[in-house]
Chains A and B, each alone.
Chain A
Amino acid sequence: MDGDRILRIDMSAPGGPTVTQEPLGDLAGLGGRAMTSLIVTAEVDPLCHPLGPGNKLVFAPGMLTGSSASTSGRISVGCKSPLTGGIKEANAGGQAGQHLARLGIRAMIVEGQPEGDDLWTVVINQDGEVSFKVDNSLRMQGTYATVAKLTEDYGPKATFMVIGQAGEMMLGGASIAACDRELRPTRHMGRGGVGAVMGSKKIKAFVIDAVKGPSRQPAQPERFKEASRLFNEGLKRHGVSGEGLPTFGTNILTNILNEAGGYPTRNFSSGHFEEATQISGETQAETMIARDGSATHACHRGCIIQCSGIYNDKEGNYVSKQAEYETVWSHGGHCGISDLDVIQQLDRMDDDFGLDTIETGVAIGVAMEGGLLPFGDGPGAVKVLEEVGKGTPLGRIIGSGAVVTGKAFGVRRVPVVKGQAIPAYDPRAVQGIGVTYATTPMGADHTAGYTITANILGVGGQVDPLHTEGQIELSRNLQIATAVIDSTGLCLFVAFPVLDQPETFAAMLEVVNGFFGTDLTPEDVTELGKKILSVEREFNAKAGFTAADDRLPEFFRTEPIAPHDVTFDVKDEELDAVFNW
């Protein structure tokens, strides 16, 4: 597209940060995870210190972000992860991706490190011009206070990406917050410590001003319009994207995982939480509605799934967005806590301090096992999390994630892969997710194999569903497809209608083709996914990762989990075959 470009911000430049603009070159047409992973692999020394000047922080809106394609507003960030030591891509909704994309900024590469302790705000105005401002008044401010101050300074039509205290302290669990439509810093690029890398660059905030003019225009308007119509119909028609998620949010999963015995409880010591109904999506939605909140809310313009919600306290005052399933789990069942108000308060605090809710909740649960506080102690968990905001030694341990916390408290059962906390699905009950946890280049990540198009794409051949060996092929195909979705800017939740409705998958591909004027086939999609995964694994190999890193922690093989008394029994050689293509 005309005007599309890459911004390169050098924080090391003498006299203060500078910016240059570059053409896209070979990266034209890419976005999201494809863009971040290709740039990180090409430009970052895999052996560099993730918090040093050699690391780079790469933001990239998705391929379709900023267009009128439904549910396409996501933005990715990539770097070498301070949590895993490998490559990282994290993504979020919110408005930032759309603002950047409509300015023609297809990627923003932040490199170097300034001298001194000044805290910088990077301002991108409505003409796409970049300026830099020192604002030390924001030091150790939470994301909510930071966004409030920035809104005063730059107006309510701008949007922001900010870090909280955790990012400034460069903790391994630090996230980068993007703002929703109401300028609440609730949409986080959460995993892998990306906020710590932003903190290492001494950048507190990005301000992206209101954008003039229409959305990004497709190369073939009629083709794009018709495909978008079919795609939207598919999203609305499907029971998950059209009904389940808007009604209950992602926390609709609590009861089901609990029923399946796959709900990790009290630091993965059981697969069943006896108080799960108190924190289920059904209960959460009913509570939000009763308190004049909302069970249906879009995190960015143009989303028709609207899986989020607004959670108020008993007096009807805003607390936080509707905590997602993984957050309710990490602070809930994982810690033995069944008070939804406490969990939502913890979610608010995570967002405010700029923390990954999964990593932080898992770390607190590990600390509970280590004896810091008892399982089920909700007020105690709040006090522990407050320590992160204060920057105390205990807070820094918790904010550094599950591995550091486990070492500090002498805990053997630490649920991580590649140093990143395992999310809310026990791989002993659902073995297939364990294959993805173990092998994804990102470290344990439930979204790495989320997109379910394998049977449509036919990558790797059809799988016999009656044989357990099929889960290796399934995980491979799921990871390939997900890598592509993460590049488009589409929310992963489009996966469900794409799975069940082949015509919706066709429409999705046609949306991309109509927008870019291309004729991509499913095979091209597969090749792009393989390319992304290949460069990510190449980066990790150069960073020192081996097959030994593609494993679950030992306890998953040795400790049967109730109620089914099962262990993870996928063989190592099978795990090593996931990326044989």
Chain B
Amino acid sequence: MEFTVSRCDVIPSRLTARLQLGVNCPARTPTSVQELLTQQLRMPADYVRDRIETLFLDGMVVDDPQVSIVEDGSTLGLSAAMPGLVGATLRKGGYYAPMRSQINWTAHSGGQLPPKAPPGNVRVRLYNLILRERAPALLARGVMLTRDELLDLLPVGTCDVPHPPNGELIMVRIVDSVT
């Protein structure tokens, strides 16, 4: 089931909160973080390299997007560079990586946190500048939301939201304008 809504019909603060909490994105898995971001989510490679300074895969810090593997149901957090010593420590491949070695993503660390996304999806969380810059494209591509999550984004009574069978997720596209 699909649903398209104009960005101006969405409550901005609710959308910001939803993107921080995470949205489910259909994805082919397993795959590398790099492939997911650049090929499936269509982010430019230089953007992933230079702008997304901090990545979390299932709560573990990613140092190398090329070798970090996204599984079905994984959660991926994306952030720009962070301030402070700890912020620098959490950067991918940073000089200060030794300071947080216990929470580095490794091939054996996947699945330490319970998966959040349903099969066939990866849960993507957008933070700070990445949220501002990548949300429009991600939302236009479409994200999977529960009906309650979708209703939370909309002013009461403004849209006729469909009822998917068996509580299935809805493919929601949020676009600049609905033609």
Contacts and interface: CB of A to CB of B under 8 A. Distances in A.
A371 interface: no
Interface in A425-449: 425, 428-433, 435-436, 446, 449
Contacts of A257: 86
Contacts of A157: none
A563 B103 CA distance: 10
B51 A430 contact: no
B112 interface: yes
Nearest to A566: B102
Interface stretch (B74-82, B140-148, B169-177): B74-82
B84 A253 contact: yes
Interface residues of A, number: 62
Given A261-B103, A431-B100, A255 B80 contact: no
A467 B59 contact: no
Given A239-B129, A450-B84, A452-B96, A286 B16 contact: yes
Contact of A466 (B98, B99, B100): B98
B16 A283 contact: yes
B12 to A, nearest CB: 7
B128 A248 contact: yes
B49 to A, nearest CB: 13
A243 to B, nearest CB: 6
Contacts of B101: 431, 468
A244 B52 CA distance: 12
Given A283-B17, A564-B59, A244 B128 contact: yes
Contacts of A496: 81, 83, 87-88
Identify the interface centre among B94, B98, B113: most chain A CB within 10 Å of its CB.
B98
Most buried by B among A238, A430, A449, A499: A430
Interface string A236-273: 00111001110110101101110111100000000000
A516 to B, nearest CB: 28
Nearest to B63: A465
Contacts of A248: 128
A504 to B, nearest CB: 14
A260 B80 contact: no
B89 A286 contact: no
Given A239-B51, A247-B129, A563-B112, A256 B81 contact: no
A250 B84 CA distance: 9
Contacts, number: 163
Interface stretch (A393-401, A470-478, A522-530): A470-478
A277 interface: yes
A245 to B, nearest CB: 6
A262 B103 contact: yes
A566 B100 CA distance: 11
Contact of B125 (A259, A286, A436, A463): A259
A499 B53 CA distance: 14
Contacts of A431: 99-102
Contacts of A286: 12-13, 16
Contacts of B20: 255, 277, 280, 282-283
A154 interface: no
B8 interface: no
B86 A474 contact: no
Contact of A463 (B16, B98, B113): B98
Contacts of A566: 102-103
Nearest to B20: A277
Given A244-B82, A256-B87, A432-B100, 17 more contacts: A239-B81, A239-B129, A244-B80, A253-B82, A253-B84, A253-B86, A261-B103, A280-B20, A282-B20, A432-B98, A433-B85, A452-B85, A452-B95, A496-B81, A564-B59, A564-B103, A564-B112
Interface of A: 238-240, 243-245, 247-248, 250, 252-253, 255-257, 259-262, 277-278, 280-283, 286-287, 290, 325, 425, 428-433, 435-436, 446, 449-450, 452, 454-455, 463-471, 474-475, 478, 493, 496, 499-500, 563-564, 566
Interface of B: 12-13, 16-17, 20-21, 51, 53-54, 56, 59, 61, 77, 79-90, 94-103, 112-113, 125, 127-129, 131-132
